Each structure stands twice: as C-alpha cells, then as structure tokens.
Amino acid sequence: KKEVHVLAFDLGASSGRAMVGTLDKSAQEAPVLRLTEVHRFPNEPVQAGAHLYWDILRLLHELKQGFRKASEGRTIESFGIDTWGVDYGLLGEDGELLGNPYHYRDARTDHTVEKVHAIIGKNELFQATGLQPLTFNTLMQLHAAVEQNSVALREAKELLFIPDLLLYLLTGVKQSEYTIASTSQLLKAGTQEWDKELLAKLGIPSDILPPVVMSGQTVGELTEAICEELKLPPIRAVAVPEHDTGAAVVSVPVDTDEEVAYLISGTWSLFGTELAQPLLDPRVLPLGFSNEGGMGGTARTLKNIMGLWLIQECKRSWDQAGENHSFADLVVLADKAPAFRSFINPDDLLFLPPGGMPERIQEYCRRTGQAVPESIGEITRTIYESLALQYRLVLDRLEHLGGIRYPRLHMMGGGIQNKLLCQMTASAIGREVWAGPVEASSLGNVAAQLIALGEVKDIREARSLIKRSYPVDTYAPQDQEAWEAAYKRFLDATGQTLIPEE
Ligand code: ADP
Ligand code: LRH
C-alpha cells in the first residue's frame, strides 16, 4: 500500500480531536507523514452538585463520530487514545462504570497532600514514586476517596485510567498503558510495578489495578457491537503513549542522541528532558521535577507549570461577561500593553481551580505590592511574561541539576500558535526556541501506531519522519538586557530563587 491511515484521538482540556495520520510512501526520497483533523469536539468538565466530573459518555459518543468521519473514503488500520494524566474510572463486579469519573481539578483533594505526608514522609514518598506530590495525582485522589469512605471505591473491582476506560468501552480490553499509569504516583519509580506496600499504608486497594502494558503494541479491536453500530470492519486498538505529554515527547523533532530540553505548551506547560533513568537525587524534590514514564521505558523528567490554563480561564470569564476575544486577539492586546509591569508565580495554587481568574491575578499583584493590571491586554501580558520567566527559572534549575547547558529549547503543542509567547520565551532564556509541531500529542500517538503496525521501525525513525514532515519555526532571543533585569524583578516579586528554601 502506498498510503497507510491510522486514527489518533487526543483529548485535551481545550478540545478533543480525531486526527487521521497518513503515512505517505509514494514520495521518491523518503516517506512523509500527514495529519488530517476529521473531528474536533468540546471536552468540558461538568460541575454537578459539589463536584467536577468528566462527561465520559458524551466523549464516547464523540469518539464514535470520529470513527465514522475518519472512515469516509479511507481504510483505518488502527486507533489509539491519549488524554491528560491522573484521572480514572472505577468498574463494578459486572464491568459497569461506577459513576462519573472525577476531574482532577475537583476540590475533594484540597488537603490530601498533607494527610498523605503525615503517613509517608515527603522524601520517602518521592524516593518511592519519583513524582512530585501534586494535589491531583491518582494517589491523592484515591487517598481522598478512602478518607471520604467512597461507596464507589468500596464496590470497585477495577480501576482504569481515562484513555484505558474509553479503550475498554470500545474494545472490552482492560489494561493500563505504562505512560498513563506513570502519572498516577502508584508505580514504583522508574518501573512498571504497582507499589503495593505503599498503597497498603494509605489504605488504597491494589487489587483493582490492571496489568501494565508497554506502548507500541496491538491490544485488541473494536467490539462486534460497535462495528455493527458504526457499520465498520473491526479496527485494531493500539496501546499508544496514552498520556498526552508522553505522546508529545515521542514527537520531539530530534533524531540524534543529544539531550534535549522540551516544553509542551498546552493547558499545562510541561518543561523537561528525557533520560534513561529517573532522577531521584534528593535535590530534585525541592526543584519541582517529576519522573514520569516515557514510551520505551525512558524517564520523562519534567516540571508541571500552570501554563495556558491561566489564559483559558481568563478568556472564559471575559466571554461570560460578553467581552469575546479569540486566543489570537488576546495575543494582539497583550502585545500592545506596556512591558514588565507586574508578575505572578504561575504555579501558585491560587490559580489551580476554575473560576474568577482575572480577579485572582489582580489579587496576587495587589498582595505582592505590584501595579494591578486592569485591562484585558495588561492581564494577558502579565500572564505571558510570567510564563516566559517561569520557563527561564525551570530551565536554570534543570541545567543546575544535570550540570549541562541545552543549546536550545523545543516548544511543542497548541500553545506555539502564540508567537508572542514563543518570542518572549526565547528572549527570557537567552537562546533559540525551535517551535513545532503543533499537534505534538496526536503525532506521537500516530507514530506509536505506525510502530505497532511495523510501518516505522522505532522511536528514532518516528522522530526523523516527524522532523522531515513538520519543519520547525525558530525564534532568536531579543532585548537581552531588559529580559535579564525583568528576570531579577520577577524572582523578587514572586519570592522565588534558583534553589528554593525548604
Ligand atoms: P490542550 O493541552 O488542551 O490539548 P492545546 O495543545 O490544544 O491544549 O493548546 C491550546 C492552547 O493554545 C490554548 O489554550 C491557547 O492558549 C493556545 N492557542 C491556540 N490557538 C492559538 C492562537 N491562534 N493564538 C494564540 N494562542 C493559541
Ligand atoms: C497535560 C497533562 C499533564 C498532567 C496534567 C494533569 O495535559 O497531562 O502532563 O500532569 O495534564
């Protein structure tokens, strides 16, 4: 066949999408990859009573529309699903879903980290799991469920992470793909083994955890009932890197052995590198880096930065107030606003939950004695500059840990459509930014399927293919003195230092 088509579902917070990846082998020199968006749909959480939930069955419905549209005029060889990390659904004895999965921004884990640390010390937990103690990790969610005496957890026979839950609803297969499992904080650091002793100490049942599967292999196919409903032939399901960030890291457009610094820019900004082994050095915990698992068993050593969530939430508030601006318009307004007036620490937990974001940003500036941004342009500029400067701090910390200097930064994901932020980042870090690809998670998802189908040899070859098919945009640093001065003011205003005091 000259063309091979696979289907990648990528469920981000800003939207879900069904993308057909086509490997075109007709080119004379070497094959190229094309992505075609066949379906995009909202993936909004739903507040019901006191809690925030996934709208999981609506998403199953949207995936079915994706299958239909993708199959118009082409044969789909396989499919794979990636989503954000940590969230899960519980199945009962009969394999039915026990209620709606919670969304990780739900408030029920607000005080769980301290409770967990009272049982297992901070350093011990980090050494065991390699992950930062983020309020929303599956471990924290499950401990909160234990404490709150959750009926669903008491009744649960199985736990499936969201992409595996959707895969189960489509194929009947129950598994846990490694990269998504690695976001849970339930695995022993750098391994594919559930840490049963640790879970027992926290009262979390480990017999509900399914077998861990490595990505890049076929794991099942669409059920007969779904094939009949959609009038489709059986399509095979591939375990792709089911964590969106894990999938994005597969598509870093570098096909040499050099160590790269990447920044996946979407709802979150994930800043880090890929290593053969997790970094469990005691210096790592205070610097904020986690070690998640990568395709092929690598360690994705990275830091979660609050990211474009801050903009999404401001936009939502302004839209509700009738001040409608597209993401592109917001960039224009920020560009016109005065530079370096006030800064926020984007990672302040004040900014984690949804709602009232412009006011919370103003409150932060007021509380830290800075000028309070008033207009939409001023607020967005504060966010973009603060993100760029936070990236600088995290890069400095990563280089401090590893004792190396990265020649450039690879920015990837939907956020690189914001050229102002790419430029600000290059200026803040004082070196080049190479931006691309935009649909990084979908490309990683597609690449893993092509590997499973035997069309692409390995990750290295997949990265070459992506590099060839999606050239990057480069940004050179500008106004270095002004950005250096701004960095010092940013650290002061946000009370941060290269090595934080405990
Ligand atoms: P997710 O993590 O939800 O998958 P994406 O990778 O799709 O996120 O990135 C979405 C973000 O990209 C939006 O929140 C927005 O800030 C940014 N973005 C998308 N399109 C544009 C644009 N045209 N101009 C500026 N920013 C954009
Ligand atoms: C990015 C992401 C990130 C997780 C967060 C919950 O979409 O998957 O890597 O930490 O969402």
Check pocket membership of 244 for ligand 2, CB cut-off 6 A: yes
Ligand 1: which of 244, 249, 251, 267 to mutate, most ligand atoms within 8 Å of CB? 267
Of 63, 54, 16, 136, give the one whose Cα is nearest residue 439.
Answer: 16
What is the whole-number distance in angstroms between the Cα of residue 154 and the centre of ligand 1?
39
Residue with the nearest Cα to atom 11 of ligand 2? 84
Q: Which ligand is nearest to the CA of 10?
A: 1
Does residue 84's CB lie within 6 angstroms of at least one atom of ligand 2? yes
Centre of ligand 2 to C-alpha 104, Å, is 10
Q: Check residue 501 and give its pLDDT.
A: 79
The Cα 61–Cα 262 span in angstroms is 34
319 is catalytic: no
pLDDT at 164: 98
Res 183: pLDDT: 98
pLDDT at 14: 84
pTM (two decimals): 0.98
Distance in angstroms (rounded) separating the CA atoms of residues 400 and 414: 29
Atom of ligand 2 nearest to the CA of 244: 8
Catalytic residue from among 87, 164, 244, 347: 244
Task: Look up residue 136 and give its amino acid.
Answer: F
Distance 288 CA to ligand 2 centre (A): 15
Q: Using only the alpha carbons of the chain, give its radius of gyration.
A: 22
ipTM: 0.98
Q: Is 267 in the pocket of ligand 2 (CB under 6 A)?
A: yes
The response to whether residue 245 sits with its C-beta less than 6 Å from ligand 2 reads: yes
> What is the 189 CA–ligand 2 centroid distance (Å)?
18
Q: What residue's CA is closest to ligand 1, atom 16?
A: 308
Digitized pLDDT (tens) for each residue of the chain, 502 residues in all: 899 999 999 999 989 999 999 999 998 789 999 999 999 999 999 999 999 999 999 999 999 999 999 999 999 999 999 999 999 999 999 999 999 999 999 999 999 999 999 999 999 999 999 999 999 999 999 999 999 999 999 999 999 999 999 999 999 999 999 999 999 999 999 999 999 999 999 999 999 999 999 999 999 999 999 999 999 999 999 999 999 999 999 999 998 988 999 999 999 999 999 999 999 999 999 999 999 999 999 999 999 999 999 999 999 999 999 999 999 999 999 999 999 999 999 999 999 999 999 999 999 999 999 999 999 999 999 999 999 999 999 999 999 999 999 999 999 999 999 999 999 999 999 999 999 999 999 999 999 999 999 999 999 999 999 999 999 999 999 999 999 999 999 999 999 999 997 6
In this structure, the number of other CB atoms found within 10 A of the CB of residue 366 comes to: 12
What is the spatial distance between Cα 309 and Cα 412, in angstroms, rounded to a whole number? 16
Residue nearest to atom 9 of ligand 2 (CA): 245
Ligand 2 pocket member 9 (CB < 6 A): no
* Pairwise CA distance, residues 481 & 463, whole Å: 36
10, 86, 441: which to mutate for ligand 2, most atoms within 8 A of CB? 86
**Nearest ligand for residue 266 CA:** 1
Burial (0-12, 13-18, 19+ Cβ within 10 Å), 228: exposed
